[in-house]
A and B are shown apart, each in its own frame.
Chain A
């Protein structure tokens, strides 16, 4: 596995420097994972085995496993996870394939629509679905139908909406880098387009598809927000945790369910690993970027489907934006700005704090997963495997559990970590580690395709790891690093479940303001505030994109090819 360059004696120093650098690359992100993820989870585990009398034992597990409700919720979670995964990965592949491998106009519109569920506060998605498909929703009212979405189907739609952009991101990472010459060769050899798809595109995307399936499954079984809003009576494991932790103030029993949620994750990851083992070193040499040629038979249906999905997403979010301008949804449709005058103490101030926190989370986070990917490439398998496992675990922990675990960990004066409690830095950390899995897998999907030849060539020309990383690998992985950065930024702006336990009277974030507005019964104001958050995030994304384009051009000019 080690790719250290065998060099002449006089380069020994540089090579040793490389070793040290590789160790740092692996060590720093791993230490971060240990302090901000593993250690809090160990505390959760200890809580799960702490019994009423304070001693350790398995009584909590016996209690939870002995109830019918737990098994029902488990069955529901597995069914929901499987259904959401199947649909999200299928649709996600269509969109990613459409974006990267088909030729049609308006891709930026699809790109914009597809990220909406990521930058929309969770309240928006729930409200949007109810406004559209609820019993008193627009569809029922104007079509005269009697749809009832509460339950399995509503939850499936909501979960798919949330999972789809993440599936597109990860599958996209596998499709964006492809070598046009492979397709040219296939063309010359007379392979039909279907054959090319089956034998070149699909195998190349396999790692991405499997990773996307893994992520989709995990985030579906851990999500509470959708289940509470639209799941009706369809109890899932996340609602079981909520009922224990919030309803009955019994963190220890909730911790049991939290720990149990890690099991399917381990199994899913194991399956995913086994299935993707056979794909290694797909990329060959310096790729000639693939530019899809128009092929109506492929482009028309792919484009139409992609637009349809994008339109559905835009509709769900758009209707909430519209409702925020309506006097009293769904009774009085006169337009008004009054909901934008936020009556809550603090008003819009939390919005600015959140941008600052999200930038820290996204910048630091992207750097850390990049370093981790780099370090893992050079680490022996025996070391790399457990670290990889650890790196994909965070998605399996419901935000509520992670947030409370952070209190237990960082509010203890026993360690100097206490200094972080109540700081913006800790909120940035919880945001990053909560979404570590997705960022890591997106970047890893890129690393997977990194042609070994590229690195070796740079190495044999005498470039050290530092230069290879900055001059060769980072530019090659730029699309994935950008996706990971934007993803972390967007989620940090709107995530609530973990952060709600870490805000203080003086330090609050936008999502908590939205929750407080909704708690106070001011749903329209909550929608208005959410609209502002989405606008700010969209503006920030656009600004950063322009900035990057400028830097990207400068980078290309200085000649990485």
Chain B
């Protein structure tokens, strides 16, 4: 039945009606950033000229919704660079086939699934985006830690993503709970709550609002901060003392893929020395041993060894306790 449908679909496609994968091609779903995707794909095309790689990029949350909605008949061959906290959802793990990509064995055990369903050579970090113009105007001290944000002078000047709708929001909450301990973590969130102007639904919005001068501090992502600084916004990127939250970008093979050979080739490529070298250019966080962050990143305030600012995160626990933590957050801070 499915074969019949596929062939009819191919006919439709040749009529210009459909856009589906044909032989020698794979479909990749990813939440990586557009700019890096373009570079990676260009390199991958060079390394594997016979392979057509179709990429669909969506933000982490939308990708999850789409993957689950498509679960009955998955369209992707590969999930590439997607938040590991989302990847560890049992419904997603069920869709993945264990595959040990060539080269992934160099990754420390914390960065791959013991059953081989995913591996994560890169990640992204949280950060405070501080508008230096507005900071000066309002005569506020540069915040260096979560504790600094308790200062009543910051009242109404801070934005934070709502962990219930944003993975970035959850990443920050988890970092606090895991570094400070459960009780003190919640207490810390409670102390800054009066200063938070809005809990936003998007993870990058706090940084975008801060760079536009709407607010002073946006609790957000290092990536957005770096991009904004590069574009010339009066922004400083701050990693809060005591450990900043981060997320791993995991990749895996879909069980349902009907082109596993090529899907595996692509996954192997993502661990090739060539790909890993590119990670150094774009990523603040590379888990492949021995890769240093890019020059631009260092200039924007990234330490040469990021592990010195990262919180110690237990991702398995963070994924397992999601529902409970998000619920508690909503009870305490939902507006």
Q: B8 within 8 Å of A by Cβ? A: yes
Q: Tell me, rounded to whole Å, the shortest Cβ–Cβ distance linking A60 to chain B.
A: 14
Q: Tell me, rounded to whole Å, the shortest Cβ–Cβ distance linking A341 to chain B.
A: 14
Q: Is the CB of B202 within 8 A of A228?
A: yes
Inter-chain CA distance A521–B165, complex, in Å, is 19
Listed residue (A329, A411, A523) with the most chain B CB atoms within 10 angstroms of its CB: A411
- Given known pairs A235-B335, A504-B19, A520-B33, the reply for A411 and B70 (CB within 8 Å) is yes
Q: Is the CB of A246 within 8 A of B64?
A: yes
Encode B183-197 as 1/0 by CB contact (under 8 A) with A.
000000000000001
Inter-chain CA distance A411–B64, complex, in Å, is 16
* Set of chain B residues within 8 Å of A162, measured between Cβ atoms: none
Q: B260 within 8 Å of A by Cβ? A: no
Q: B208 within 8 Å of A by Cβ? A: yes
* Set of chain A residues within 8 Å of B232, measured between Cβ atoms: 328, 331-332
Q: B278 within 8 Å of A by Cβ? A: no
Interface residues of A in 232-260 (CB under 8 A from B): 232-233, 235, 239, 242-243, 245-249, 251
Q: B303 within 8 Å of A by Cβ? A: no
Question: Interface SS of chain B: helix, strand, loop or mixed?
Answer: mixed
Q: Tell me, rounded to whole Å, the shortest Cβ–Cβ distance linking A165 to chain B.
A: 26
- Of B62, B231, B330, the residue contacting A69 (CB under 8 A) is B330
Q: Is the CB of B65 within 8 A of A404?
A: yes
- The A/B interface has a contact count, at CB < 8 Å, of 162
Inter-chain CA distance A501–B309, complex, in Å, is 37
Q: Is the CB of A419 within 8 A of B8?
A: yes
Q: Is the CB of A506 within 8 A of B54?
A: yes
Inter-chain CA distance A506–B35, complex, in Å, is 18
Q: A507 within 8 Å of B by Cβ? A: yes
Interface residues of B in 91-124 (CB under 8 A from A): 91
Encode B215-237 as 1/0 by CB contact (under 8 A) with A.
10000000110011001111000
Q: Is the CB of B55 within 8 A of A505?
A: yes
Q: A20 within 8 Å of B by Cβ? A: no
Interface residues of B in 28-79 (CB under 8 A from A): 28, 33-35, 37-38, 41, 54-59, 61-62, 64-66, 68-70, 72-73, 75
Q: Is the CB of B72 within 8 A of A411?
A: yes
Q: Tell me, rounded to whole Å, the shortest Cβ–Cβ distance linking B161 to chain A.
A: 10
Q: A124 within 8 Å of B by Cβ? A: no
Q: B276 within 8 Å of A by Cβ? A: no
Listed residue (B41, B213, B326) with the most chain A CB atoms within 10 angstroms of its CB: B213
Q: B322 within 8 Å of A by Cβ? A: yes
Q: A5 within 8 Å of B by Cβ? A: no
Q: Is the CB of A248 within 8 A of B326?
A: yes
Query: Which B residue's beta carbon lies closest to that of A239?
Result: B201
Q: B27 within 8 Å of A by Cβ? A: yes
Q: Is the CB of B62 within 8 A of A246?
A: yes
Q: Is the CB of B322 within 8 A of A136?
A: no
Encode A349-378 as 1/0 by CB contact (under 8 A) with B.
000000000000000000000000000000
Query: Which B residue's beta carbon lies closest to that of A47?
Result: B69
Q: Is the CB of B213 within 8 A of A422?
A: no
Q: A279 within 8 Å of B by Cβ? A: no
- Given known pairs A135-B215, A344-B34, A411-B70, the reply for A423 and B17 (CB within 8 Å) is yes
Inter-chain CA distance A404–B66, complex, in Å, is 7
Query: Which A residue's beta carbon lies closest to that of B15?
Result: A423
Q: B18 within 8 Å of A by Cβ? A: yes
Q: Tell me, rounded to whole Å, the shortest Cβ–Cβ distance linking B335 to chain A.
A: 4
Inter-chain CA distance A135–B134, complex, in Å, is 11
- Given known pairs A135-B214, A504-B20, the reply for A246 and B61 (CB within 8 Å) is yes
Listed residue (A69, A136, A330) with the most chain B CB atoms within 10 angstroms of its CB: A136
Inter-chain CA distance A408–B71, complex, in Å, is 9
Q: Is the CB of A521 within 8 A of B89?
A: no
* Set of chain A residues within 8 Å of B66, measured between Cβ atoms: 404, 407, 501
Listed residue (B69, B166, B228, B335) with the most chain A CB atoms within 10 angstroms of its CB: B69
Q: Is the CB of B65 within 8 A of A245?
A: yes
Q: A68 within 8 Å of B by Cβ? A: yes
Q: How many residues of B contact A (CB 8 A)?
A: 72
Query: Which A residue's beta carbon lies closest to that of B41?
Result: A345
* Set of chain A residues within 8 Å of B233, measured between Cβ atoms: 328, 331
Q: Is the CB of B73 within 8 A of A413?
A: yes
Inter-chain CA distance A413–B64, complex, in Å, is 21
Q: A291 within 8 Å of B by Cβ? A: no
* Set of chain A residues within 8 Å of B213, measured between Cβ atoms: 135-136, 330-331
Inter-chain CA distance A416–B65, complex, in Å, is 24
Interface residues of B in 243-290 (CB under 8 A from A): none
Q: Is the CB of B204 within 8 A of A519?
A: yes
* Set of chain B residues within 8 Å of A422, measured between Cβ atoms: 9, 18-20, 75
Q: A183 within 8 Å of B by Cβ? A: no
Interface residues of A in 45-85 (CB under 8 A from B): 67-69, 72
Q: B291 within 8 Å of A by Cβ? A: no
Q: How many residues of A contact B (CB 8 A)?
A: 56
Q: Tell me, rounded to whole Å, the shortest Cβ–Cβ distance linking A530 to chain B.
A: 16
Q: Is the CB of B227 within 8 A of A413?
A: no
Inter-chain CA distance A244–B208, complex, in Å, is 24
Encode B1-26 as 1/0 by CB contact (under 8 A) with A.
11001001100100001111000000
Interface residues of B in 140-198 (CB under 8 A from A): 162-167, 197-198
- Of A136, A246, A413, the residue contacting B212 (CB under 8 A) is A136
- Given known pairs A228-B202, A251-B69, the reply for A500 and B62 (CB within 8 Å) is yes
Q: A348 within 8 Å of B by Cβ? A: no
* Set of chain B residues within 8 Å of A519, measured between Cβ atoms: 34, 59, 204
Q: Is the CB of A521 within 8 A of B224?
A: yes
Q: Is the CB of A228 within 8 A of B224?
A: no
Inter-chain CA distance A357–B86, complex, in Å, is 33
Inter-chain CA distance A516–B35, complex, in Å, is 11
Query: Which B residue's beta carbon lies closest to that of A229?
Result: B205
Q: Is the CB of A423 within 8 A of B12?
A: yes
Q: Is the CB of B201 within 8 A of A228?
A: yes
* Set of chain A residues within 8 Å of B307, measured between Cβ atoms: none
- Given known pairs A134-B212, A407-B66, the reply for A412 and B73 (CB within 8 Å) is yes
Q: Is the CB of A134 within 8 A of B214?
A: yes
Q: A150 within 8 Å of B by Cβ? A: yes
Inter-chain CA distance A521–B70, complex, in Å, is 28
Q: Is the CB of B2 within 8 A of A413?
A: yes
Residues of B within 8 A of A (CB): 1-2, 5, 8-9, 12, 17-20, 27-28, 33-35, 37-38, 41, 54-59, 61-62, 64-66, 68-70, 72-73, 75, 86, 89, 91, 133-134, 162-167, 197-202, 204, 208, 212-215, 223-224, 227-228, 231-234, 322-323, 326, 330, 334-335
Residues of A within 8 A of B (CB): 67-69, 72, 130, 134-136, 150, 228, 232-233, 235, 239, 242-243, 245-249, 251, 328-332, 343-345, 400, 404, 407-408, 411-413, 416, 418-419, 422-425, 500-501, 503-507, 516, 519-521, 523
10 contacts between A and B (CB under 8 A): A72-B334, A135-B215, A136-B214, A243-B165, A246-B62, A400-B65, A408-B69, A422-B9, A516-B57, A519-B204
